[in-house]
């Protein structure tokens, strides 16, 4: 097995992989937490050892040989890191960020199921209302995934080197407390009657306008009784009896079961189910390929499939 002695130093290989992932010596140095001169020296030594140019010095980036070498050694280095962590008994860590609503009302009651299914994965749930900004160039020992509700009207594209998987596309519907519905001045016969009801609006009226369009009610502006920052606050206001909010089953499963909130219905023309967006699981390409991330995806899809089947069986389409 004499060929093993010709393997380049691990530090040089790590520097090369960091350079390939980040696209620059200084960015690679920042990701590794070393001086940029160290990365330059490792790259130069690696090219001298291999006898081939890995970097395109005139145009930047990698040469064809560099791309091929990177593609072949990266899975091996990742496997070496995982094998080392396994033999040390280190539990792989996954941080899952998501909005407060789905964290408290859907994910939190199900975390015990994940831990029973995958006891070797350390999953930390971190509610964050602001949209997560992934840095594909960052090299971190903790895997990071994010679940975010992305509206269909939000045309922002997924960042480069970030993988995304729509995991659920729930219908949205109006909800209110029984006391709020009891106080309405006029009965709700059709969707247009909701325009005269106290509507709770989030950051803007876009979702309400799209929901009304799904009911064949065209409106240019929806006047609400209260403007709130996001769905979590709108639902809190609805529980307090302040008005009618738009929501989906993943944000208020326990509210519907206890009767704190009820689905708003109409007497003459039934309301239609309308989908305005999807919950999307995102992670960098590097994290996406890790085995714990695959476990998380498998578990999420199984949970959401079970919930969808339950909703259809119980008649909540």
Helix (H) or strand (E) segment spanning residue 97:
strand 93-98
Q: Which pLDDT value is given to residue 127?
A: 87
pLDDT on residue 88: 65
* pLDDT tens digits, 211-265: 999 999 999 888 876 666 667 788 889 999 999 999 998 888 788 889 999 999 9
CATH fold match for the domains 93-166+279-314 and 173-263: yes
CA–centroid distance for 181 within its chain = 34
Alpha helices in 88-205 (DSSP H): 100-102, 111-117, 178-182
Instruction: Encode pLDDT of 112-139 as tens digits.
Output: 888 888 888 889 998 887 777 777 666 5
**Other Cβ atoms within 10 Å of 163 Cβ, number:** 19
The answer to whether residue 96 scores a pLDDT higher than 50 is yes
Contact 277, 149 (CB under 8 A): yes
* Structure token digits, residue 85: 């962590």
Give the whole-number percent of the chain exceeding pLDDT 70.
86
pLDDT score recorded for residue 55: 92
Please state the rounded mean pLDDT for residues 179-185.
92
pLDDT score recorded for residue 7: 85
Phi first, then psi: give them for residue 188, nearest 5 degrees: -95, 105
Q: What is the mean pLDDT of residues 276-304?
A: 87
Burial string for 52-61 (b: 16+ CB within 10 Å, else e) reads: eebbeeeeee
Residues 95, 30: Cα–Cα separation, whole Å = 22
Q: Report the pLDDT value the prediction gives residue 44, as an integer from 0 to 100.
A: 93
Mean confidence (pLDDT) of the chain: 84
CA–CA separation, 224 vs 212, rounded Å? 14
Q: Per-residue pLDDT averaged across 298-310, rounded?
A: 75
Q: Please give the model's pTM, rounded to 2 decimal places.
A: 0.68
* Pairwise pLDDT comparison (110 vs 142), residue with the higher score: 110
pLDDT band at 313 (very low <50, low <70, confident <90, very high): very low
From the options 3.40.190.10, 3.30.1330.10, 1.10.3720.10, 3.30.70.20, give the CATH code of 93-166+279-314: 3.40.190.10
According to DSSP H, which parts of 51-97 are helical? 64-87
CATH superfamily of 173-263: Periplasmic binding protein-like II (3.40.190.10)
For the chain, domain boundaries: 2-87, 93-166+279-314, 173-263
pLDDT tens-place string over residues 189-212: 999 999 999 999 987 888 999 999
State the burial class of residue 78 (Cβ atoms within 10 Å of its Cβ: 0-12, 13-18, 19+): middle
Residues 147-160: pLDDT tens digits? 988 888 775 666 77
- According to CATH, the topology of domain 2-87 is Arc Repressor Mutant, subunit A (1.10.10)
Q: What confidence category does residue 266 fall into, taking pLDDT thresholds of 50, 70 and 90?
A: very high
Residues 6+ apart with CB under 8 A from 70: 16, 17, 20, 62
Per-residue pLDDT at 316: 42
Give 104's pLDDT tier (boundaries 50, 70, 90).
confident
Is the distance from CB of 246 to CB of 208 less than 8 angstroms? yes
- Per-residue confidence at 315, pLDDT binned at 50, 70, 90? very low
């Amino acid at each position: 097995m004499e060929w093993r002695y010709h393997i380049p130093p691990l530090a040089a290989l790590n520097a090369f992989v960091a350079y390939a992932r980040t696209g620059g010596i200084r960015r690679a140095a920042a990701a590794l937490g070393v001086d940029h001169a160290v990365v330059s020296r490792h790259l130069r030594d690696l090219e001298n050892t291999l006898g081939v140019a890995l970097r395109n010095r005139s145009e930047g980036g990698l040469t064809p040989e560099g791309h091929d070498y990177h593609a072949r050694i990266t899975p091996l280095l990742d496997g070496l890191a995982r094998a080392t962590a396994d033999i040390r008994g280190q539990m792989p860590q996954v941080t899952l960020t998501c909005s407060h609503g789905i964290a408290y009302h859907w994910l939190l009651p199900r975390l015990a199921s994940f831990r029973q299914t995958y006891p070797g994965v350390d999953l930390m749930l971190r509610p964050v209302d602001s949209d997560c900004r992934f840095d594909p160039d960052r090299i971190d020992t903790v895997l990071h995934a994010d679940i975010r509700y992305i509206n269909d009207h939000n045309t922002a594209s997924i960042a480069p080197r970030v993988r995304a998987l729509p995991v659920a596309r729930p219908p949205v519907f109006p909800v209110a407390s029984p006391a709020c519905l009891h106080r309405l001045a006029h009965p709700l016969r059709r969707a247009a009657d909701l325009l005269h009801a106290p509507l709770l609006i989030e950051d803007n009226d876009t979702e309400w306008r799209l929901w009304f369009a799904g009911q064949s009610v065209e409106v240019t502006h929806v006047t609400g009784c209260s403007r709130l920052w996001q769905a979590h606050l709108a639902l809190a206001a609805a529980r307090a009896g302040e008005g009618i909010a738009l929501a989906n089953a993943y944000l208020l499963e326990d509210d519907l079961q206890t009767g704190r909130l009820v689905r708003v219905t109409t007497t003459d023309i039934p309301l239609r189910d309308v989908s305005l967006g999807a919950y999307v699981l995102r992670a960098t390409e590097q994290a996406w390929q890790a085995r714990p991330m695959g476990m998380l995806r498998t578990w999420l899809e199984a949970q959401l499939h079970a919930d969808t089947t339950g909703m259809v069986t119980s008649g909540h389409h």
